[in-house]
């Protein structure tokens, strides 16, 4: 919501109800929520790659990527890792519990630019949360995209987020879905093993000028994945990634998310192209 149309206080969170939650792995849980006000729930619009500020009175607020897709309005979904104070309290929430959410914030993925091109989504660890939104959006609007690839890497089969969902996607004939784990102690893993860059063999025939890459994962992953993408001669502005910074407001005021002296990640990010990243100081 931009200044011209802003009516209410952007810092006051909207009451939301926790509809459903379950573990995605040992420390990341899935949270499905809905605005208590049904009209607001249905009118909430957002883009894949945007985030919301979740608020717990007495504790504070923190930013979380939206994992659901705007093509399925009404419910918002998050994947949250328990790391500290705020996330501990979110994990104490039970179904039907009420808490506050405000947003959506950030730029999101440049969907309009991606449309008409092939799309390669590369996710690792918690990066699956925001990229699931983009993937579901593209699949829901399948005719507007070219070929779609999903490369997903996790440390072990147990750690892979949304694994059942992705297993089912393996059966689709409109998606090239490739899953890998670094290490499989169960001996039951039916797919690839090895780091996510091993899956690049599956991309041999992409057309670099007409392909967008969306990458999200732990910091170490970016380095290796981007090197591989560049080998395919993909233009740098077609490589998209999301960045995490500390955020206290989400609306470009508190200053905590500034990178390189003046880029407000909460406004101009969290999605950046590799070209942007190369020209911002102190970025990754």
Partner 1 sequence: MRAVKIKKENLFDFLEAIKPFGDLWGPVKSGDGYVLEKVTDYSNIEMSALRTRIPFKKLLFPPKFTMFKFDEKGIRSSDEELPRQVIFGLHPCDLHALLIMDNFHSLHYVDPYYRERRERTAVIGLSCFPDDRCFCKATNTHYTEKGFDLFLTDLGDFYILWIGSSLGDDMVRECPELVDEEVTHDDLEKYIAWRKKRESNFKLKLDFTGMPSIMELSYDSPLWDELGEKCLSCGACTIVCPTCPCFNVIDEVDIGGGTGERTRRWDSCMFREYSMVAGGHNFREARSERLKLRFTHKLQAFVGAFGEAACVGCGRCIGACPVDIDIQTVAQNLKGEEVKA
Task: Give the tokens for residue 170.
Answer: 């393996």
- Give the footprint of partner 1 on this chain (CB under 8 A): 1-3, 6, 9-13, 15, 57-61, 81, 83-84, 87, 98, 100, 244-246, 248-249, 251-256, 258-262, 267, 281-282
Choice between 201 and 255, CB closer to ligand FAD: 255
Residue 10 Cα to chain centre, angstroms: 23
Residue 29 binds ligand FAD (CB under 6 A): no
Q: Which stretch binds ligand FAD (CB under 6 A): 208-216, 224-232, 238-246, 271-279?
A: 238-246
> Between 14 and 244, whose beta carbon lies closer to ligand FES?
244
Which helix (H) or strand (E) is 273 found in, with range? strand 271-273
Long-range contacts from 199-205, C-beta under 8 angstroms, 24+ separation: 199/151, 199/153, 200/151, 200/228, 200/232, 202/149, 202/151, 202/176, 202/178, 203/120, 203/149, 203/151, 203/232
Residues in the chain: 284
Q: Which is nearer to ligand FAD, 50 or 238 (CB)?
A: 50
User: Taking CB within 5 to 8 Å according to partner kind, which of ligand FAD, ligand FES, partner 1, none is near residue 79?
Assistant: ligand FAD
Question: Is residue 41 within 8 Å of 48, Cβ to Cβ?
Answer: no
Q: Which does 2 bind (CB under 5 to 8 A by kind): ligand FAD, partner 1, ligand FES, none?
A: partner 1
| Least distance between ligand FAD and beta carbon 241 (Å) | 12
What is the distance between the alpha carbons of residues 35 and 14, in angstroms, rounded to a whole number?
7
- All residues at 6 or more sequence positions from 141 whose CB lies less than 8 Å from its CB, including other chains: 71
HSE-CB of 102 using CA atoms within 13 angstroms: 16
Q: Which stretch binds ligand FAD (CB under 6 A): 79-87, 202-210, 220-228, 230-238?
A: 79-87
Q: Interface with ligand FAD includes 47 (CB under 6 A)?
A: no
Q: Report, in Å, the least distance between residue 269 CB and ligand FES.
A: 9
Query: Does the footprint of ligand FAD cover residue 48 (CB under 6 A)?
Result: no
The β-bridge relationship of strands 258-259 and 263-264 is antiparallel
Query: Half-sphere exposure of residue 158, counting CA atoms within 13 Å on the CB side?
Result: 6
The upper half-sphere exposure of residue 187, i.e. CA atoms within 13 Å in the direction of its Cβ, equals 0
Contact 54, 66 (CB under 8 A): no
Closer CB to ligand FES, 175 or 249, in the complex: 249
Applying CB under 6 A, the span of 78-86, 92-100, 162-170, 179-187 interacting with ligand FAD comes to: 78-86
Q: Which is nearer to partner 1, 18 or 258 (CB)?
A: 258
CB of 131 to ligand FAD, least distance (A): 10
Where along the sequence are the contacts to ligand FAD (CB under 6 A)? 51, 62-65, 78-81, 83-87, 126, 129, 244-247, 270
């Amino acid at each position: 919501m931009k200044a011209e149309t802003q009516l209410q206080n952007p810092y006051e969170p909207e009451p939301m109800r926790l509809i459903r939650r379950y573990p995605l792995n040992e420390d990341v849980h899935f949270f499905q929520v809905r605005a208590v006000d049904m009209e607001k729930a249905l009118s909430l619009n957002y883009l894949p790659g945007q985030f919301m500020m979740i608020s717990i009175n007495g504790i504070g607020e923190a930013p979380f990527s939206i994992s659901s897709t705007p093509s399925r309005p009404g419910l918002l979904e998050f994947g949250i890792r328990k790391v500290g104070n705020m996330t501990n309290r979110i994990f104490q929430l039970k179904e039907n519990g009420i808490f506050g959410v405000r947003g959506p914030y950030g730029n999101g993925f440049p969907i309009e630019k991606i449309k008409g091109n092939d799309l390669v989504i590369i996710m690792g660890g918690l990066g699956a949360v925001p990229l699931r939104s983009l993937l579901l959006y593209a699949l829901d609007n399948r005719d507007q995209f070219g070929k779609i690839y999903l490369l997903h890497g996790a440390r072990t089969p147990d750690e892979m987020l949304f694994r059942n969902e992705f297993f089912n996607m393996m059966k689709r004939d409109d998606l090239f879905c490739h899953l890998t784990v670094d290490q499989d102690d169960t001996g039951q893993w039916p797919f690839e093993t090895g780091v996510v860059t091993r899956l690049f063999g599956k991309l041999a025939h992409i057309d670099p000028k007409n392909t967008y890459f969306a990458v999200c994962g732990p910091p170490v992953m970016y380095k290796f994945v981007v090197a591989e993408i560049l080998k395919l001669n993909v233009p740098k502005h077609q490589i998209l990634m999301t960045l995490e910074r500390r955020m206290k407001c989400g609306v470009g005021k508190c200053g905590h998310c500034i990178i390189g002296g003046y880029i407000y990640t909460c406004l101009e990010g969290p999605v950046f192209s590799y070209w942007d990243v190369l020209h911002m100081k102190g970025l990754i």
